[in-house]
A and B are shown apart, each in its own frame.
Chain A
Amino acid sequence: MRFLVFAEQHEGEFVKNSLGVLSKAASLGDADAVVVGADAGLAPELGKHGAKVVHVAAGDDTLAPPLPQPRVDVIAGLAPDYDAVLFGQSVLAADVAAGLAARLDAGLNWDLVDVELQDGELVGKRPALQDSVLVEVGWKSTPALALFRSGAFDPKESGGEPEVRDVDVQLEDFSTKVKMVEQAHAEESSGPSIEDADVIVAGGRGLGSPDNFTLAEDLAKALGGAVGATRAVVDAGWYPYSAQIGQTGKTVSPKLYVALGISGAIQHKVGMQSSGTIVAINKDPNAPIFEFSDLGVVGDLHEIAPKLTELVRARKGS
């Protein structure tokens, strides 16, 4: 089976998630990759992760900013040679995959956590209804299009030098109409990086005020971890965007995730659901976060968190 993987890069750095998808594809069959808006200098890293051929689409200025529609044009030209085109979840990748589905009338299954071959047919696995059901999904089109959940696969280095091919891009008139006026750049964050942290203590609106983030910071320090935040508190200006976890923030999978006053909206869940152990403290017994916590504590975090910090300190000190 021949796979094409969308190797998403941002300012010359590959998104880890898309490298994981590439590694998975290479374990199932022949995997090639397509990289858009960057030069061939990035190709060797894709070869390492299992790509035999790397299609490079650069040269046109309209391909540089991370916009979906020119990427649909690029991939639509390559897709007919493949059985499946695979994407790792991101704001950009979802828009590219859906545009491609409409362009090619090709089936797209999303939010997949795994894919396998059953009697030579591709079968995807998708948790549904708040992860209460695991649905096996298939495709009636070639190519099949698949979008995988963040953290579905770990990147693995298996391959060698890839063959690099330049893509001759034909852009549609409507694909180049969106103009990037100001593009986001990776923000410098202070303190330990939340993407690499083994322990994360994250705060939500339930903290009550920006000052109360010290509760999360103190506990994080005691546990030797980093501090995360929900979109709601970042939007409210309580904590910097660089700490935001969720759909439009960081995706994290620490060994321990402590959620303080976080309700557990779906946009937050997608950024932390692959954490090892999840402990949640929330005063609302019906908060959705309790549905995917290993230990749920219904109570007042303003009382519990400082005590917990003290107890952890005492334990580590002993």
Chain B
Amino acid sequence: MRIAVCVKHVPEGSSHIDPATKRLDRSGEGALNHFDANAVEEALRLKGDSDTEVVAVSLGPQQALDSLRKALAMGADRAVLVSDDGAAGSDLVATSRLLAAALEHEQPDIVLFGQQASDADGAVLWAAVAERLRRPVVSQAMELSVDGGTVRVKRQTEFGYDTLEAPLPAVVAVSDAINEPRYPSLKGIMGAKKKQQDVLSLTELGVDPGEAGEAGSRTTVLALGDPPARGDARKIEGDGNAAQAIVDYLAEKRLV
């Protein structure tokens, strides 16, 4: 069996939007999107001691190799990075096209995603990728098992708990409630460097440059502005008078 895990390299620390390009500045330090660590962990759990191959797949700048190496250090077998100047600024339509193209090369039995990206707060990519791959999709998985050619998922929605089944190959997005991701061991970190890491350009992927990056995107950022103010937020240190301070505040707001 082959499991592909889609991971994202996200900016670390205080991030900002470049006013010139109106894109998130991705030039600084970055890290593996922590929600994706749950997906890597789940792939490794499904693999266990079997000969299942776990491939970490990402789209991003060259620095995204750092995040892929983290996945390798955790135990993934191989990494694939789609990286091309022409892919920068890809929106959902373009990103899903590029990832789906990379996944078509890999032909995995299961494609796993984390529950959302911590930078763009997006929680949509898996459904778009599943559509392009023409595969069944299940999101918000909190328990996952594979039996023969079927994946069984328990998940939580706004209404409670569902149990679903889908035949493989399938796409599953896992919730961060599904597991506690392991920390890479020193041995894992050392070993990651020797594992296969392929970087693919648009040409190598067989995607027309007009279908990637801003050219291939169907949304635009028009302007950046200040958000509506949240009033005057206050923060106090909780000494002996904290409870009284809260009551005074609520009284001032006519809430008690």
Residues of chain A having any CB pair with chain B under 8 Å? 10, 15, 66-69, 72, 90-92, 94-99, 101-103, 105-111, 123, 127-129, 131-141, 147, 172, 174, 177-187, 199, 223, 231, 235, 241, 247-251, 255-256, 266-267, 277, 279, 281, 283, 290, 292-300, 303-305, 307-308, 310-312, 315-316
Candidates B158, B230, B247; contact of A312 at CB < 8 Å: B247
Say yes or no: A184-B242 contact (C-beta < 8 A), given A106-B218, A132-B227, A136-B225: no
Structural contact, B91 and A69, CB atoms closer than 8 A: no
The list of the 3 closest CB pairs from A to B, nearest first, reads: A299-B238, A107-B218, A184-B160
Structural contact, A177 and B167, CB atoms closer than 8 A: yes
A245 → chain B closest CB, angstroms: 11
Structural contact, B132 and A102, CB atoms closer than 8 A: yes
Report the Cα distance A17→B245, complex, angstroms: 35
Say what secondary structure dominates the interface of chain A. Answer: mixed
Chain B residues near A241 (CB-CB < 8 A) = 156, 160-161
Report the Cα distance A91→B226, complex, angstroms: 29
Q: Does chain A have a CB within 8 A of B17?
A: yes
Structural contact, A102 and B217, CB atoms closer than 8 A: no
| Interface residue ranges of B120-169 to A (CB < 8 Å) | 120-132, 134-140, 142, 152, 156-167
Structural contact, A311 and B243, CB atoms closer than 8 A: yes
Chain A residues near B123 (CB-CB < 8 A) = 94, 110, 247
Structural contact, B218 and A95, CB atoms closer than 8 A: no
Structural contact, B249 and A99, CB atoms closer than 8 A: no
**A134-B226, A248-B140 given; 5 more Cβ-contact pairs under 8 Å:** A98-B131, A99-B137, A128-B17, A137-B222, A307-B243
Structural contact, A248 and B233, CB atoms closer than 8 A: no
Structural contact, A127 and B227, CB atoms closer than 8 A: yes
Structural contact, A249 and B158, CB atoms closer than 8 A: yes
Candidates B16, B130, B163, B238; contact of A298 at CB < 8 Å: B238
